[in-house]
Structure formats: structure tokens, C-alpha cells
Amino acid sequence: MFQDFFSLWNERLYFYFLKKTKDGENARELTQLTFIKFWEYRSSLSDEYSLETQLFRKAKFVFIDWLRKEAILRKRKEAEAEFYNTSPEDTIHYFEAEKLHNALEQLPPMRRRVIELSHLRGYAYKEIAEKLNISVKTVDNHIYQALKQLRKIMSIFFL
């Protein structure tokens, strides 16, 4: 009985999927998957609707699931392409910036603040001193100590 049903609807279902996917291989796979799902859920078929209606309803859900999987695969491929199309220089700069950020995180809070204001934001020593209510000499000392510590930390990263 199922063989007769399959023979009756196989070609029509295949062309339904071919029209939607425009690919014969995908249409064959989706047709097979629909009949497999239809067979697996045969106990839940309803007498209210024709078998054709229920088959094409199942086909619709199979197609929606396939579209979701294709979208995920497409996003994954795009992400891989973007990653592999990144120039080596960009990748190196990214990793160096990340290492520098990690090194800055290891500094004591006041040294980190002073070095960020000086080297990352371009403040002058006098402006930093006024902003943090410390002397210019203390700013100079924090920067000296911070750079010394950063050189040490960064040399460990690059080994």
C-alpha cells in the first residue's frame, strides 16, 4: 500500500521541491526525507484531511527545516571566508592589540589610568596631573614604571 502511495506521489513531490530549490540533488533528498517522515508519523495521520494534503504539509515543514539548515551553513561559510580573507597583517595587529590590552589589565589601577591617559588618549603630563590630583613628577614616575612593567609583560607574550 505505501509503495503504491509512494509511486503515485513521488514524481509530483520531487517537482515541487525542484521548483523550490532549483537543484535536482536537493529535490531528491527532500523528497526522500518527506516520505521517510510521512512513514514515521503515519500513526498520527488524520482522517479529516486527504493523504495528499498531509503529504504536502509534511513537505512544507521538511522544506522549512532544510532552509534553516542552509541558512546556518551559509552563515558559517561566510564567517569562514571572512576569517580566511583577513590579511595576515590584520590578524597580527588584532592579536598584538589583544596582548597589549591583557598587559594593561595587569598594571595597578593608577598606573593603568596614567598610561591610558598619556599614550592612548594623548593627554600631556600636566593635564594628567591636574585630572588625577597628583604631581607631574608622580605622573612621570607612573609612566616610567608602567612602561617598564609593560615591556616585561609583553616580552613574555612574544616568547
**Radius of gyration in angstroms for the set of CA atoms belonging to the chain, rounded to a whole number:** 32
State residue 132's pLDDT score.
Answer: 92
pLDDT band at residue 122, thresholds of 50, 70 and 90?
Answer: confident
The per-residue pLDDT for range 50-81, each reduced to its tens digit, is 888 888 999 999 999 999 988 888 887 777 66
Q: Which of 42-51, 65-74, 130-139, 149-158 has the highest mean pLDDT?
A: 130-139
The per-residue pLDDT for range 3-25, each reduced to its tens digit, is 887 888 889 999 999 999 999 99
Percentage of the chain with pLDDT > 70? 87
Q: Which of 77-81, 83-87, 101-105 has the highest mean pLDDT?
A: 101-105
Domains and CATH numbers, the chain: 2-84 (1.10.1740), 88-158 (1.10.10.10)
State residue 110's pLDDT score.
Answer: 93
Q: Is residue 132 within 8 Å of residue 146, measured between CB atoms?
A: no
Angle CA 43–45–47, to nearest 5: 125
State residue 98's pLDDT score.
Answer: 77
- Integer CA distances (angstroms), 63 to 49, 109, 110, 154, in order: 20, 56, 59, 53
